[in-house]
Structure 1
Amino acid sequence: MTLTKQHLVNTFEGARNNNSPYVFVGIEAEGIKEVISIPSVSFDAKEQFYNNAYSNKLVHVMNSKVKIIGLTHGYPEALTDLV
């Protein structure tokens, strides 16, 4: 399944609706994978950042070698959904 900005919006919305403490964003940058943990206090700012910095297919607008490859929200245990 190819992720899109709609998945990004749905993930942040789901996190807010479920009072999730974190949104987790899986990133692949030039073959290196990482997971970014975003606390609820930063949801609005980081959602806006990702909306501006990534294309509809979640590829970074300034570097096509950087893309979002996974999204989830919840407690740290939710990380198993991304790794």
Structure 2
Amino acid sequence: MILTKQHLQNNFAKARETNSPYVFVGIKAEGVSEVIVIPKKSFDAKEQFYMNAYSEDLTHVMNNNVMITGLSYGDADQIPNII
């Protein structure tokens, strides 16, 4: 499945609805994979950042070698779901 901005927005919305402590964003950059952990207090700012910095298909607007490859929310036990 190809992720889109709608998936990103839905992920943040579900995290808020379920009072989740974290949103997880899987990133692939220059052949390296990483997971970014966003705490609840930063949901609004980071969602806006991703909406501005990534295209509709979640490729970075300034570097097409950087893309969001996974999304999740909840506790730390969700990290393996996006790696």
Q: TM-score range by the shorter chain?
A: over 0.9
Partner residue in 1 for 2:29: 29
How do 1:1-83 residues align onto structure 2 when only pairs under 5 Å count?
A: 1-83=1-83
Unaligned runs of 5+ in 1: none
Provide the rounded CA distance (Å) in 2 between the counterparts of 1:79 and 1:51.
22
Provide the rounded CA distance (Å) in 2 between the counterparts of 1:4 and 1:47.
13
| Over 4 Å off, 4+ runs | none
Provide the rounded CA distance (Å) in 2 between the counterparts of 1:58 and 1:80.
20
The share of aligned pairs that are identical, in percent, is 61
Provide the rounded CA distance (Å) in 2 between the counterparts of 1:27 and 1:80.
13
> Could you say what the CA RMSD is over the residues aligned between the two structures, in angstroms?
0.4
Provide the rounded CA distance (Å) in 1 between the counterparts of 2:18 and 2:56.
25
Unaligned runs of 5+ in 2: none
Q: How many residues align?
A: 83
> How high is the TM-score relative to the length of structure 1?
0.99
